[in-house]
């Protein structure tokens, strides 16, 4: 197996709107890719909100394409993979890694997300894969958002199947609406 450098970016919201979490993450992706090369860029996010009609990963990909067209930012389409099934952080990890053909080690897995969200991702990667990751933190959450992430982190530590309240809600509601 190859040792590809993989950048994983989970969505926060199902749409990209200036100022929201997904937008902040994509601005950081754009900056990172203008300074570094990766072999694979995984945009992770499925349909997980009521009224959502297309995967978050597609919205993320479209935003990056628009940015590449109007700026000097270069996006190599063959390197982009849309992971469009995940509904929560646990599924972001599982489904994203299932799409890449690479040996998994701390030298080649990079995750870009909000700093407090990375804490939960780090914990899950260690528990599920016994794997450390390189982290690219993006700071944009106010104190209330960080507090919510901290609560979710502690809930994740006592939830052996990583099916926290938000994940269960999303799965039950979306199952009824399909």
Whole-prediction pTM: 0.85
78 in any annotated domain: yes
Element (H, E) at 142: none
- Range(s) of the domain holding residue 143: 6-177
Identify the CATH number of the domain in which residue 62 sits: 3.40.50.620
d(C-alpha 112, C-alpha 8), whole Å: 6
50 in any annotated domain: yes
d(C-alpha 127, C-alpha 121), whole Å: 10
1 in any annotated domain: no
d(C-alpha 143, C-alpha 178), whole Å: 35
- For 43-58, the pLDDT digits (tens) are 999 988 888 899 999 9
User: Residue 2's pLDDT band (boundaries 50, 70, 90)?
Assistant: low
User: Residue 140's pLDDT band (boundaries 50, 70, 90)?
Assistant: confident
Number of folded domains in the chain? 1
């Amino acid at each position: 197996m190859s040792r590809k450098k993989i950048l994983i970016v989970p969505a926060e919201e199902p749409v990209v709107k200036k100022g929201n979490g997904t937008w902040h993450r994509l601005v950081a992706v754009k900056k990172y890719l203008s300074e570094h090369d990766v072999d694979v860029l995984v945009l992770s996010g499925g349909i997980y909100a009521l009224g959502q009609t297309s995967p978050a990963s597609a919205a993320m990909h479209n935003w990056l394409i628009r940015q590449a067209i109007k700026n000097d930012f270069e996006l190599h389409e063959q390197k982009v993979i849309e992971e469009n099934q995940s509904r929560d952080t646990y599924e972001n990890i599982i489904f994203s890694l299932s799409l890449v053909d690479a040996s998994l080690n701390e030298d080649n897995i990079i995750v870009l997300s909000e700093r407090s969200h990375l804490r939960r991702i780090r914990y899950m990667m260690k528990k599920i894969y016994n794997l450390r990751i390189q982290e690219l933190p993006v700071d944009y959450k106010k104190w209330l958002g960080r507090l919510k992430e901290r609560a979710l982190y502690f809930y994740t530590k006592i939830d052996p199947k990583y099916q926290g309240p938000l994940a269960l809600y999303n799965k039950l509601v979306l199952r009824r609406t399909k």
